Amino acid sequence: MFFMFQANMYLIRFIFLIALCSADTAPNVVVIVADDLGYNDVSWHNPDIISPNMEKLATDGIILKNHYVILCSATRSALLTGYHPIHTGMQHSVINSQQPTGLYTNFTLMSEYFHDIGYKTHMVGKWHLGFCHEDYLPLKRGFETFYGFYIGQETYYSHFHPGKVGDTRYYGYDFRDQDELDLSAIGTYSTKLFADRAVKIIEDHAEIHCNDYSIIGSCRPMFLFLPFQSVHQPSCWYDRLNCIHCI
Protein backbone atom coordinates (compact mmCIF):
# COMPACT_ATOMS: atom_id res chain seq x y z
CA MET A 1 0.00 0.00 0.00
CA PHE A 2 2.84 2.41 0.79
CA PHE A 3 4.43 1.88 -2.63
CA MET A 4 1.10 2.42 -4.37
CA PHE A 5 0.52 5.68 -2.47
CA GLN A 6 4.11 6.87 -2.90
CA ALA A 7 4.24 6.27 -6.66
CA ASN A 8 0.94 8.01 -7.26
CA MET A 9 2.01 10.97 -5.11
CA TYR A 10 5.16 11.39 -7.21
CA LEU A 11 2.99 11.68 -10.33
CA ILE A 12 0.60 14.14 -8.67
CA ARG A 13 3.47 16.27 -7.32
CA PHE A 14 5.14 16.39 -10.73
CA ILE A 15 2.00 17.63 -12.46
CA PHE A 16 1.20 20.02 -9.58
CA LEU A 17 4.62 21.66 -9.99
CA ILE A 18 3.96 22.06 -13.72
CA ALA A 19 0.63 23.71 -12.90
CA LEU A 20 2.51 26.35 -10.90
CA CYS A 21 4.55 27.35 -13.94
CA SER A 22 3.76 30.55 -15.80
CA ALA A 23 2.71 30.56 -19.43
CA ASP A 24 6.30 31.23 -20.45
CA THR A 25 7.75 28.32 -18.47
CA ALA A 26 5.09 25.58 -18.54
CA PRO A 27 6.85 22.82 -20.51
CA ASN A 28 5.49 20.81 -23.37
CA VAL A 29 5.70 17.12 -22.43
CA VAL A 30 6.24 14.22 -24.86
CA VAL A 31 6.30 10.66 -23.46
CA ILE A 32 7.68 8.10 -25.93
CA VAL A 33 7.29 4.35 -25.38
CA ALA A 34 9.26 1.71 -27.33
CA ASP A 35 7.20 -1.48 -27.13
CA ASP A 36 9.11 -4.62 -26.03
CA LEU A 37 12.51 -3.05 -26.63
CA GLY A 38 15.09 -5.06 -24.68
CA TYR A 39 17.60 -3.66 -22.18
CA ASN A 40 20.48 -4.62 -24.49
CA ASP A 41 18.78 -3.42 -27.69
CA VAL A 42 20.07 0.15 -27.44
CA SER A 43 23.46 1.58 -28.32
CA TRP A 44 24.32 2.89 -24.84
CA HIS A 45 24.11 -0.68 -23.49
CA ASN A 46 25.27 -2.58 -26.57
CA PRO A 47 27.82 -1.23 -29.10
CA ASP A 48 26.49 -3.62 -31.75
CA ILE A 49 23.22 -1.67 -31.85
CA ILE A 50 23.02 1.58 -33.82
CA SER A 51 20.48 3.98 -32.27
CA PRO A 52 22.04 7.47 -32.31
CA ASN A 53 18.81 9.45 -31.94
CA MET A 54 17.65 7.49 -28.91
CA GLU A 55 21.15 7.64 -27.43
CA LYS A 56 21.19 11.43 -27.72
CA LEU A 57 17.86 11.62 -25.86
CA ALA A 58 19.23 9.28 -23.19
CA THR A 59 22.60 10.94 -22.68
CA ASP A 60 21.06 14.42 -22.63
CA GLY A 61 18.65 13.28 -19.92
CA ILE A 62 18.67 10.75 -17.09
CA ILE A 63 19.16 7.01 -17.68
CA LEU A 64 17.25 4.88 -15.17
CA LYS A 65 18.49 1.28 -14.97
CA ASN A 66 16.40 -0.25 -12.20
CA HIS A 67 12.86 0.29 -13.47
CA TYR A 68 11.40 -2.98 -14.74
CA VAL A 69 8.33 -3.76 -16.83
CA ILE A 70 6.55 -6.98 -17.65
CA LEU A 71 3.94 -6.90 -20.41
CA CYS A 72 2.08 -4.35 -22.52
CA SER A 73 -1.05 -3.60 -20.50
CA ALA A 74 0.77 -3.71 -17.16
CA THR A 75 3.45 -1.29 -18.38
CA ARG A 76 0.92 1.20 -19.70
CA SER A 77 -1.26 1.06 -16.61
CA ALA A 78 1.73 1.71 -14.33
CA LEU A 79 3.09 4.53 -16.47
CA LEU A 80 -0.22 6.37 -16.84
CA THR A 81 -1.56 5.90 -13.30
CA GLY A 82 1.58 5.89 -11.13
CA TYR A 83 0.40 2.65 -9.51
CA HIS A 84 2.15 -0.71 -9.49
CA PRO A 85 0.25 -3.14 -11.79
CA ILE A 86 -0.76 -5.29 -8.82
CA HIS A 87 -2.93 -2.37 -7.70
CA THR A 88 -4.57 -1.80 -11.10
CA GLY A 89 -5.49 -5.43 -11.80
CA MET A 90 -3.02 -5.59 -14.70
CA GLN A 91 -0.38 -7.80 -13.08
CA HIS A 92 -1.39 -11.15 -14.58
CA SER A 93 -1.17 -10.75 -18.35
CA VAL A 94 -2.30 -8.54 -21.22
CA ILE A 95 -5.82 -7.53 -22.23
CA ASN A 96 -6.76 -9.83 -25.09
CA SER A 97 -8.82 -8.59 -28.03
CA GLN A 98 -11.95 -10.49 -26.89
CA GLN A 99 -11.54 -9.85 -23.17
CA PRO A 100 -14.36 -7.69 -21.72
CA THR A 101 -12.28 -5.56 -19.40
CA GLY A 102 -9.98 -2.56 -19.28
CA LEU A 103 -8.07 -0.25 -16.98
CA TYR A 104 -10.68 0.64 -14.36
CA THR A 105 -12.07 4.13 -14.65
CA ASN A 106 -11.63 4.91 -10.95
CA PHE A 107 -7.93 5.46 -11.75
CA THR A 108 -6.99 8.97 -12.87
CA LEU A 109 -4.52 8.90 -15.75
CA MET A 110 -1.59 11.19 -16.44
CA SER A 111 -3.49 12.57 -19.42
CA GLU A 112 -6.41 13.56 -17.19
CA TYR A 113 -4.13 15.39 -14.76
CA PHE A 114 -2.53 17.33 -17.61
CA HIS A 115 -5.90 18.10 -19.18
CA ASP A 116 -7.25 19.40 -15.87
CA ILE A 117 -4.47 21.99 -15.59
CA GLY A 118 -5.02 23.33 -19.11
CA TYR A 119 -2.81 21.18 -21.35
CA LYS A 120 -3.79 20.08 -24.83
CA THR A 121 -3.58 16.30 -24.67
CA HIS A 122 -2.85 13.93 -27.54
CA MET A 123 -2.19 10.23 -27.95
CA VAL A 124 -0.57 8.61 -30.97
CA GLY A 125 0.10 4.86 -31.07
CA LYS A 126 -0.94 1.69 -29.25
CA TRP A 127 -3.54 1.86 -26.46
CA HIS A 128 -3.97 -1.72 -25.11
CA LEU A 129 -5.86 -0.70 -21.98
CA GLY A 130 -9.27 -2.01 -23.01
CA PHE A 131 -11.98 -1.13 -25.50
CA CYS A 132 -15.02 -3.24 -24.56
CA HIS A 133 -16.81 -0.10 -23.35
CA GLU A 134 -16.41 3.46 -24.58
CA ASP A 135 -15.47 4.62 -21.06
CA TYR A 136 -12.21 2.66 -21.42
CA LEU A 137 -11.20 4.44 -24.64
CA PRO A 138 -8.48 7.13 -24.87
CA LEU A 139 -10.91 9.93 -25.69
CA LYS A 140 -12.71 9.19 -22.42
CA ARG A 141 -9.46 9.06 -20.42
CA GLY A 142 -8.20 12.61 -20.75
CA PHE A 143 -6.96 12.63 -24.35
CA GLU A 144 -8.45 15.16 -26.77
CA THR A 145 -7.12 13.40 -29.85
CA PHE A 146 -6.27 9.77 -30.60
CA TYR A 147 -4.55 8.22 -33.62
CA GLY A 148 -3.61 4.54 -33.50
CA PHE A 149 -5.04 1.18 -32.48
CA TYR A 150 -6.77 -0.26 -29.43
CA ILE A 151 -5.57 -3.87 -29.27
CA GLY A 152 -2.24 -5.40 -28.27
CA GLN A 153 -0.72 -6.41 -31.60
CA GLU A 154 -1.43 -6.34 -35.31
CA THR A 155 0.42 -6.36 -38.60
CA TYR A 156 2.52 -3.27 -39.24
CA TYR A 157 1.34 -2.56 -42.79
CA SER A 158 -2.22 -3.92 -43.13
CA HIS A 159 -3.13 -3.25 -39.46
CA PHE A 160 -5.06 -6.51 -39.15
CA HIS A 161 -5.09 -8.73 -36.09
CA PRO A 162 -5.49 -12.51 -36.47
CA GLY A 163 -7.80 -14.08 -33.93
CA LYS A 164 -9.90 -17.13 -33.29
CA VAL A 165 -13.43 -17.78 -32.01
CA GLY A 166 -13.84 -21.48 -31.34
CA ASP A 167 -12.53 -23.16 -34.48
CA THR A 168 -13.12 -20.11 -36.66
CA ARG A 169 -10.22 -17.82 -37.50
CA TYR A 170 -10.81 -14.18 -38.31
CA TYR A 171 -8.85 -11.04 -39.18
CA GLY A 172 -9.99 -7.78 -37.65
CA TYR A 173 -8.90 -4.31 -38.76
CA ASP A 174 -7.97 -1.85 -36.02
CA PHE A 175 -6.60 1.56 -36.91
CA ARG A 176 -8.40 4.70 -35.88
CA ASP A 177 -8.37 8.46 -36.17
CA GLN A 178 -10.29 9.62 -33.10
CA ASP A 179 -13.01 6.94 -32.74
CA GLU A 180 -13.42 6.30 -36.46
CA LEU A 181 -11.75 3.54 -38.49
CA ASP A 182 -9.07 4.99 -40.76
CA LEU A 183 -8.71 2.79 -43.84
CA SER A 184 -6.20 5.19 -45.39
CA ALA A 185 -3.55 3.67 -43.08
CA ILE A 186 -3.58 0.36 -44.97
CA GLY A 187 -0.24 -0.27 -46.64
CA THR A 188 1.80 2.22 -44.59
CA TYR A 189 4.20 1.09 -41.87
CA SER A 190 2.85 2.05 -38.45
CA THR A 191 6.07 3.71 -37.27
CA LYS A 192 5.89 6.15 -40.19
CA LEU A 193 2.20 6.82 -39.56
CA PHE A 194 2.79 7.54 -35.89
CA ALA A 195 5.93 9.59 -36.43
CA ASP A 196 4.29 11.72 -39.13
CA ARG A 197 1.23 12.38 -36.98
CA ALA A 198 3.34 13.23 -33.93
CA VAL A 199 5.43 15.70 -35.95
CA LYS A 200 2.28 17.32 -37.32
CA ILE A 201 0.78 17.69 -33.83
CA ILE A 202 3.97 19.30 -32.54
CA GLU A 203 4.39 21.60 -35.54
CA ASP A 204 0.74 22.68 -35.51
CA HIS A 205 0.61 23.26 -31.78
CA ALA A 206 2.43 26.60 -31.53
CA GLU A 207 0.64 28.06 -34.52
CA ILE A 208 -2.85 27.02 -33.43
CA HIS A 209 -2.78 27.11 -29.64
CA CYS A 210 -0.49 29.95 -28.66
CA ASN A 211 -3.47 32.28 -29.03
CA ASP A 212 -5.72 29.92 -27.07
CA TYR A 213 -6.12 31.33 -23.56
CA SER A 214 -6.34 28.83 -20.70
CA ILE A 215 -5.93 28.67 -16.97
CA ILE A 216 -2.16 28.48 -17.43
CA GLY A 217 -1.71 31.44 -19.75
CA SER A 218 -1.86 32.70 -23.30
CA CYS A 219 0.05 29.79 -24.85
CA ARG A 220 -1.41 26.42 -23.95
CA PRO A 221 1.21 23.72 -23.34
CA MET A 222 0.93 20.28 -24.86
CA PHE A 223 1.10 16.71 -23.55
CA LEU A 224 1.76 14.01 -26.18
CA PHE A 225 1.74 10.32 -25.30
CA LEU A 226 3.54 8.44 -28.10
CA PRO A 227 3.63 4.65 -27.55
CA PHE A 228 5.00 3.14 -30.77
CA GLN A 229 4.03 -0.32 -31.98
CA SER A 230 7.70 -1.12 -32.59
CA VAL A 231 9.44 -3.41 -31.78
CA HIS A 232 6.55 -5.66 -30.74
CA GLN A 233 5.78 -8.77 -32.78
CA PRO A 234 4.97 -9.56 -35.56
CA SER A 235 8.11 -9.01 -37.62
CA CYS A 236 7.18 -7.72 -41.08
CA TRP A 237 9.24 -6.92 -44.15
CA TYR A 238 9.08 -6.45 -47.93
CA ASP A 239 10.81 -9.00 -50.18
CA ARG A 240 12.41 -8.22 -53.56
CA LEU A 241 9.03 -8.66 -55.28
CA ASN A 242 7.52 -6.01 -53.00
CA CYS A 243 5.43 -8.55 -51.11
CA ILE A 244 4.86 -8.19 -47.35
CA HIS A 245 5.75 -11.07 -45.04
CA CYS A 246 5.01 -11.23 -41.33
CA ILE A 247 5.98 -13.78 -38.69
What is 174-239 written as a DSSP string?
--EETTEE-GGGTTS-HHHHHHHHHHHHHHHHHHHHTT---SS-SS--EEEEEE--TTSSPPEEE-
Q: Assess whether 122 carries a catalytic annotation.
A: no
- Among 110, 108, 100, residue whose Cα is nearest residue 130: 100
CA distance 83 to 75: 10
- Among 2, 28, 14, residue whose Cα is nearest residue 79: 14
CA distance 108 to 102: 14
Residue in 87, 122, 128, 232 annotated catalytic? 128
CA distance 63 to 21: 25
Q: Assess whether 72 carries a catalytic annotation.
A: yes
Question: Catalytic amino acids?
Answer: 72, 128
